[in-house]
């Protein structure tokens, strides 16, 4: 059976560590994730820079954010069948951690870090860049790449000279390595509120802002 991660590791222990979640004990993948996060950002940034020679910094930054966010990395991890290969602690196994976007995205970044340490940057880029090409090709033209929901909501309100939204943390649950945040976004004119829940406060705020913006446009 062909391994979806086609790189053949000279040091298989690196891949084993990349697929070991913190809940399973040390050595786990957090340091590799840190390294892989930087590598993914560099590989995607370089590809966008070459693909869009006329795009300004703002468009490039927004496009990169689209491609490297948790909800974009997790599907790649599923394509590579990382979930079935993760080593998780008993609690995470019971709660279905192998299906959670945050754990899958972190594991993908850790695998990227492992490939880099095993074979260097050129090999890492050659292996990793094709994983992002389908999403890159699906992006709209550079000048139409969307801003994040919080920015779009702020601009919508400012354009109508309305007060800016207020964000509030409603609940925080879960263990340190797998927290869930529930956040509200509220606007006063017209009075509307929506909630978002995600693995980070920022992601939850984005979901809440997206829903408020949808409601505002529906009423506009």
Angle of helix 101-119 relative to helix 70-79, nearest 10 degrees, comes to 70
* DSSP code, position 120: -
Residue 9 CA: distances (Å) to CA of 76, 81, 106, 137, 180: 20, 17, 19, 29, 34
Query: Cα separation of 153 and 149, whole Å?
Result: 6
CATH C-level class of 149-219: alpha beta
Q: Is 33 labelled as part of a ligand binding site? A: yes
pLDDT attached to residue 2? 63
Query: Cα separation of 89 and 4, whole Å?
Result: 24
pLDDT attached to residue 178? 67
Answer whether 110's CB lies under 8 Å from 32's CB: yes
Q: Which fold has domain 12-144?
A: Ribonuclease iii, N-terminal Endonuclease Domain; Chain A (1.10.1520)
pLDDT attached to residue 194? 94
Answer whether 97's CB lies under 8 Å from 199's CB: no
Which residue is catalytic, options 70, 92, 109, 205?
A: 109
Could you tell me the pTM of the whole model? 0.68
Residue that is written with structure tokens 């609690």 in the block = 91
Angle of helix 57-68 relative to helix 70-79, nearest 10 degrees, comes to 50
Query: Rounded to 5 degrees, what angle do the CA atoms 157, 162, 166 make?
Result: 75
Backbone angles phi, psi at 140, to 5 degrees: -70, 170
37 catalytic per annotation? yes
Beta bridge partners of 183: 169, 196
Helix (H, G, I), strand (E, B) or coil at 192: strand
Delimit the CATH 3.30.160.20 region(s) of the chain. 149-219
Q: Is 205 labelled as part of a ligand binding site? A: no
Residue that is written with structure tokens 């192998």 in the block = 98
Q: Is 106 labelled as part of a ligand binding site? A: yes
pLDDT attached to residue 164? 92
* DSSP code, position 150: H
Rg for the chain (alpha carbons), in Å?
Answer: 19
Query: Cα separation of 14 and 116, whole Å?
Result: 10
Spell out the per-residue pLDDT of the chain, length 220, in tens: 567 888 999 999 999 999 999 998 889 999 999 999 999 999 999 999 999 998 888 888 888 988 998 889 999 999 999 999 998 998 888 888 888 898 999 999 999 999 999 999 999 999 999 999 999 888 877 656 667 788 889 988 998 999 999 999 999 987 766 678 999 999 988 889 999 998 888 888 989 998 999 898 887 6
pLDDT attached to residue 200? 82
Which residue is catalytic, options 37, 118, 205, 211?
A: 37
Residue 31 CA: distances (Å) to CA of 22, 71, 84, 173, 179: 10, 21, 21, 24, 19
118 catalytic per annotation? no
């Amino acid at each position: 059976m062909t391994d979806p991660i086609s790189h053949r590791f000279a040091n298989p222990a690196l891949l084993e560590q990349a697929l070991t979640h913190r809940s399973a004990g040390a050595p786990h993948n957090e340091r590799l994730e840190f390294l892989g996060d930087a590598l993914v950002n560099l590989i995607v940034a370089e590809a966008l820079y070459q693909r869009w020679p006329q795009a300004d910094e703002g468009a490039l930054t927004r496009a990169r954010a689209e491609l490297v966010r948790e909800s974009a990395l997790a599907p790649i991890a599923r394509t590579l069948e990382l979930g079935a290969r993760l080593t998780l602690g008993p609690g995470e196994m019971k709660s279905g951690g192998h299906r959670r976007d945050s754990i899958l995205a972190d594991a993908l970044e850790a695998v990227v870090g492992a490939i880099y340490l095993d074979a260097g940057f050129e090999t890492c880029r050659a292996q990793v860049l094709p994983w992002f090409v389908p999403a890159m090709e699906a992006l709209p033209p550079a000048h139409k790449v969307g801003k994040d929901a919080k920015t779009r909501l702020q601009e919508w309100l400012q354009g109508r000279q309305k007060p800016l939204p207020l964000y509030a943390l409603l609940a925080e649950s879960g263990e340190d390595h797998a927290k869930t945040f529930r956040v509200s976004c509220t606007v006063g004119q017209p009075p509307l509120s929506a909630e978002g829940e995600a693995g980070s406060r920022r992601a939850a705020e984005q979901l809440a802002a997206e829903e408020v913006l949808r409601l505002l446009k529906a009423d506009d």
